[in-house]
Amino acid sequence: MDFRQLQLRPAEIALLTRTSSIDGKILMRYTLIYLILERVLDGVGGGDVTKKKTVLKIGKRFDGFMARNFEKHFLQFFYNDNTLQISTRDLLEKVEEDTTYKKFMKDFINEDQYIKPYVSDRFFDLLRSGVTLNDKGVLLVGSVISYLKERNHAYKYAMSVDKKMNVIKEMGSYAILLPSFDQEILPQFTSILHSKRTWDGDADEDDFDIYFDEEPFYLGSLKMLDKVGGIDESGNTSDSQDDGGEGA
């Protein structure tokens, strides 16, 4: 199974792979990063970088973007006013005023049709706002883990910035799920967004710095994977030997 063909969002993958440790706050963060990385939302360039504030506006892919219900919590404000410019902090505050973390998580599980084929329909799960994988879900998670282990190794041992960036380009938004995302990739997010605009033929657009206005909500995107032979929080695979290879 190649999970990438299923068009699942990183937040949906995160929910399925971290069934016992995910929460609404983390899912919100994944969702906002995804919308920026996919250029559904873009930053306003040319701001005062000393203020460490990212101002967002509608992006190149906003029109025609088929949003999931959970993504509409962020996008509704831009639907109402497509000239809106708002900081990431203020946007998150608006979303949090509209829905609690717990309600965001519950609605995510109950309304997201894309994850339903992979989870059991259990009343207990609805009460606790959690999910239990069915057999199809277990196969999916196995595919995700195998892919992330291989790509994590390729990124870790790439011998140049360009080769690391090639790994990110190949992964697309699934790079958010790499265990090294918070510590290594997120600090380079501005460069990654610049590279993405270059790949899209928009290299002349103004760069902008991206700030999420608080410390990372988690360490390692899939920190529970080590329990199933996956990747530990330092980015090492638990069942592979470091061979010092060049990677991708």
The stretch 67-95 carries a mean pLDDT of 92
Say yes or no to pLDDT of 84 above 90: yes
- pLDDT of 100 reads 87
- pLDDT of 240 reads 38
- pLDDT of 22 reads 78
For tokens 């706050």, name the residue: 25
Say yes or no to pLDDT of 121 above 70: yes
- Residue 175's pLDDT band (boundaries 50, 70, 90)? confident
CB 96 within 8 A of CB 112: no
Tell me the pairing of strands 55-58 and 41-43.
Answer: antiparallel
- pLDDT of 245 reads 40
Q: C-alpha distances in angstroms, 161 versus 81, 200, 211, 215, 246?
A: 39, 20, 22, 25, 12
The mean pLDDT of the chain is: 76
The whole-model pTM stands at 0.78
Q: pLDDT by residue (tens digit) across 199-243?
A: 666 656 555 556 554 444 444 443 334 333 333 333 343 343 343
- Please state the domain extents for the chain: 10-227
Say yes or no to pLDDT of 73 above 90: yes
- Tell the burial category of 66 from Cβ atoms under 10 Å away from its Cβ (0-12, 13-18, 19+): exposed
Say yes or no to pLDDT of 154 above 60: yes
- pLDDT of 124 reads 46
Say yes or no to pLDDT of 66 above 90: yes
Q: pLDDT by residue (tens digit) across 96-112?
A: 898 888 888 888 887 88
Rounded-to-integer distance, Cα 75 and Cα 84, Å:
11
Percent of the chain with pLDDT over 70: 67
Say yes or no to pLDDT of 67 above 50: yes
**Helix 72-80 vs helix 24-37: crossing angle, to nearest 10:** 50
- Tell the burial category of 53 from Cβ atoms under 10 Å away from its Cβ (0-12, 13-18, 19+): middle
Q: C-alpha distances in angstroms, 35 versus 32, 57, 65, 126, 179?
A: 5, 11, 10, 27, 20
Rounded-to-integer distance, Cα 110 and Cα 116, Å:
9
Q: Please list the residues that pair with 41 across neighbouring strands.
A: 58
- Tell the burial category of 123 from Cβ atoms under 10 Å away from its Cβ (0-12, 13-18, 19+): exposed
Of residues 1 and 115, more confidence is placed in 115
97, 219, 65, 39: CA torsion to nearest 10 = 110
The distance from CA 169 to its chain's CA centroid, rounded to whole angstroms, is 14
- pLDDT of 210 reads 62
Of residues 78 and 44, more confidence is placed in 78
Say yes or no to pLDDT of 127 above 90: no
Single-letter code of the amino acid located at 156:
K
